[in-house]
Structure 1
Amino acid sequence: MDRPKEPCRVLIIGSLSQSLVNFRGSLLQSLKREGHEVFAAAPWDDSAADIAVRLGKWDIPFLPVCLSRSGTNPVSDWHALQALKRLLRKVSPDVLISYTAKPVIYGGIAAASIGGIRFFPMITGLGYAFTEGGGAKRRMLRAVVQALYRRSLAGAEAVFFQNPDDERLFCDLGLVPERVRSVRVHGSGVDLQAFSPVPLEAAPVFLMLSRLVTDKGVREYVEAARLVKGRFPDAVFRLGGGLDPNPAGVKAAELREWVDSGVVEYLGDVQPVQPTLAGCRCYVLPSYREGTPRSVLEALATGRPVITTDAPGCRETVVHGQNGFLVQPRDAYALAEAMIRLLEEPDSEVERMALASLALARDKYDVHKVNARLLEVMGL
């Protein structure tokens, strides 16, 4: 696609204000460097005031939008759609980029209703509705979400996916029309300057950073920690991330039990994450499904062996036995065995894995390479 001759007005919409800087900051700055007028939108949450200031320093206006990241209330979602229509009319963008489920679904529907907007959705993970299990309620939700995706993506110029499994699933379900281009990229990338290699922690410290929801494998992490501590009582298991209103969220009472029993050290919502990553020997993410897990990319760039699942989005980040280990999702015993295997490896082997993680981050997940591909496809 030829680069446009004139600068464009570009609007990017996410479901968390913090993600605009943490996950898309480099992309926003790349768009500015190319001469485009850039706007960023997300709900007004606890981080929004700070994010607005940070975006302002890049000369990017922050526009709050009424949009609930979680929840399935159709009345709330109708109001979100109307709010997005008002936002699009106000900004009048040439290009709309949206990521995460509701900005993709309702942003696409809103853009199609107005017309004249080039739409580029990013499928950064499938979330609660697409995770296996959950009974009739989740199956019904999945059917509704699929219908909404089908309507939204019909108006896209290209759809970005972060792993081959999600891309294949959407195409097989007919959610991406044949006339719409499907493009795979290596996640949102990782800033190799912000996340630089740090010498390995000598102590047996494992770390998991994620939202505290079932589908991230947080309960398997805690159960595996119990099993490992039975053989290696000095092993330390740290858990960072906030409680989540998601229907599959861990409840505060359960978290307190984990901490009170001494199985895990709870760090709360960790920001910035670099010092916490530097303090671990191995990073763990036993998620059931991801787009491409950003926390794993940051661990790779820090130079940490990774234990994650042989599941969509996760399996691409680890070459089994090279920079860490892959285990089956939902299997605390297999996870514990992988942790024990790493504890029993000689220091030289763990160091080799750490270097392999760093090499993978540099070769595949450099944020500048990822963003260059995005801009190329969008013609920006």
Structure 2
Amino acid sequence: MPKKLIRITTIPLSLEKLLEGQLSYMNQYYQVTAVSAEKERLERYGKDNGVNTFWVEMTRAITPLMDAKAVWKLYNYFKKEEPLIVHTHTPKAGIVGMLAAKLAGVPLRLHTVAGLPLMETTGNKRKLLDFVEKLTYKLATRVYPNSRGLEEIILKEGFAEEEKLKVLGKGSSNGIDTSYFDPSNFSEEDKINIRQELNIPENDLVFIFIGRLVSEKGIDELVAAFKRLQERKLELSLLLVGPFEEELDPISEESKEIIENHPKIFTTGYQADVRPYLAVSNVLAFPSYREGFPNVVMQAGAMGLASIVSDINGCNEIIVEGKNGMIIPVKDEGALFNAMELIAQNEDYRIRLASNSREEICKYYERKEFWQILLKEYKSLEQEYIKS
């Protein structure tokens, strides 16, 4: 009977996107259970991926009473199931899962850090989030920052000791399937048809952003920079692929109005498959304030796009300045405008960056290689536990 591995994320979307395919792969070696909120979506994920599921109500907001109930429910579940490994992702799943696993005596308690939302908060809320982050790491037996830069931040902030931290491979939480994200999957006719469906002019240079349309992703700066650039009558479009979020971190009313009314800004809402939109685009514009190890930048690279990214961990590890993209300071609308202008007006430079993009991703971030690295880590920890 294979040993039990429980993987926890706050919402099923993280299982679907951030860990796509990974749990099914691990199910060949362990009896895998996916734990998350949103019962119906979670059960659908389990059915589609051939893994067990267990539903626990969780939110990304600060909800102490609900979180306590989640810890109690998970504690009882772990006591019954006796898993060898509990591996959590995302901040809320991390604290809830690690606390329940520690109380239940789970031997291997692993937590992946794919970003630190607390870096954009201040005051008492920041103090609370710092405490929760430190506690999560203290409860874990091993912590996996998904980039070198994130590891440096964790050490600098004093969240954990160096010996508890480990970056797997070159970074990332899941690598990327480069046969799936491959520009050759789309013919010229496909691209023409997709542009026509989106009403994007056939000859426009397209900047694309993929992700939540929120302030901390740099959407306000991106919209303002694009508006200025487009006023020069260049043949440009901006394609925004992702949902608006009004609750936690909304963009400015001014940006929202520009997006709604600008004839050259196109939105698609959330899309399960982003490849068609990357296929008809030329440059990824990703001026995020913070990331772990962004899948979007890997996906764009695999699809042969040049990228403009902010100088933050993850982004500045995937992109090499002047080789496969450009790196700009965080929250700097002027620098973003200059980079967009340079890449829009210098086709030879853009093509050179784009020509290197796919090769870099294939070389360092192939998904199945990452899965093998993670499996090797599990087996190594398992052997250490058995010996002890």
Q: Note whether the superposition's TM-score is higher than 0.5.
A: yes
TM-aligned CA distance change 1:122 to 1:246, over 3 Å? farther
Amino acid at match of 1:62: T
Q: 2:31 aligns with which of 28, 37, 47?
A: 37
1:95 aligns with 2:95: no
Which one of 4, 7, 12 corresponds to residue 9 of structure 1?
A: 4
Query: In 1, are the aligned partners of 2:319 and 2:326 still within 8 Å (CA)?
Result: yes
Cα deviation for residue 171 of structure 1 reads: 2.1
Amino acid at match of 1:356: N
> Which position in structure 2 is the counterpart of 1:64?
55
C-alpha distance in structure 2 between counterparts of 1:197 and 1:124, whole Å:
27
Superposed, 1:1-380 pairs within 5 Å as 7-33=2-28, 35-44=29-38, 47-55=41-49, 58=50, 60-68=51-59, 70-127=60-117, 129-131=118-120, 134=121, 138-177=122-161, 180-185=164-169, 186-188=171-173, 189-198=175-184, 203-244=204-245, 246-250=247-251, 255-262=256-263, 264-346=265-347, 348-379=348-379
Q: CA deviation at 1:142?
A: 2.0
Specify whether residues 115 and 252 from structure 1 end up closer, same or farther in structure 2 by C-alpha distance, changes over 3 A only.
Answer: farther
Measure the CA separation in 2 of the matches of 1:345 and 1:122.
Answer: 40
TM-aligned CA deviation for residue 19 of structure 1: 2.3
8 Å contact from structure 2 (residues 111, 140) kept in 1: yes
C-alpha distance in 2 between matches for 1:81 and 1:255: 38
Calculate the aligned-residue CA RMSD, in Å. Answer: 2.3
Give the TM-score, by structure 1 length.
0.88
Provide the rounded CA distance (Å) in 1 between the counterparts of 2:254 and 2:302: 34
When residues 245 and 102 of structure 1 are mapped into structure 2, their CA distance, relative to the original with a 3 A threshold, is farther
Cα displacement (A) at 1:174: 2.9
Partners in 1 of 2:182 and 2:80 — Cα distance? 40
Helix, strand or coil for the counterpart of 2:268? Answer: strand
Q: Is the 8 A contact 1:289 1:314 kept in 2?
A: no
Task: Give the aligned residue type for 1:191.
Answer: D
Per the normalisation by structure 2, the TM-score is 0.86
| d(CA) in 1 for partners of 2:246, 2:47 | 27
Contact kept, 8 Å, 2:236 with 2:264, in 1: the verdict is: no
Task: Single out whichever of 233-242 and 247-256 deviates more from structure 2.
Answer: 247-256
Taking a change above 3 Å as real, the CA distance of residues 315 and 246 of structure 1, as seen in their structure-2 partners, is farther
CA gap of 1:256–1:52, structure 2 versus 1, over 3 A, is farther
Report the identity percentage: 23
Gaps of 5+ in 2: 192-202, 381-388
Structure with more contact order per residue of length (Cα contacts < 8 Å, sep ≥ 6): 1
Residue 71 of structure 1 and its aligned partner are, at CA, apart by: 1.3
- Aligned residue pairs total 363
Q: Is the 8 A contact 1:66 1:83 kept in 2?
A: no
Alignment check: 8 A CA contact 2:172 2:294 kept: yes
Supply the distance in 2 between the matched residues of 1:221 and 1:87 (Cα, whole angstroms). Answer: 45
1:72–1:149 Cα change, 3 Å: same
Give the letter for the 2:238 counterpart.
Answer: F
Contact 2:215 2:252 in 1 (8 A): no
Change in 2 beyond 3 A, CA 1:301/1:328: same
CA distance in 2, matches of 1:240, 1:47: 21
Shift of 1:21: 2.8
Distance across 1 between alignment mates of 2:131 and 2:344:
47
Check 1:26–1:252 CA distance in 2 against 1; reply closer, same or farther (3 A cut): farther
Classify the secondary structure of the residue corresponding to 1:86: helix
Which deviates more from structure 2 when the two are superposed, residues 87-96 or residues 107-116?
A: 87-96
Q: Which residue of 2 aligns with 1:3?
A: none
- Partners in 2 of 1:302 and 1:71 — Cα distance? 34
CA distance in structure 1 between the aligned counterparts of 2:236 and 2:39, rounded to whole angstroms: 36
Unaligned runs of 5+ in 1: 1-5
Greater mean alpha carbon deviation, residues 196-205 or residues 145-154: 196-205
The answer to which of 18-27 and 336-345 deviates more is 18-27
1:181: how far off?
A: 4.2
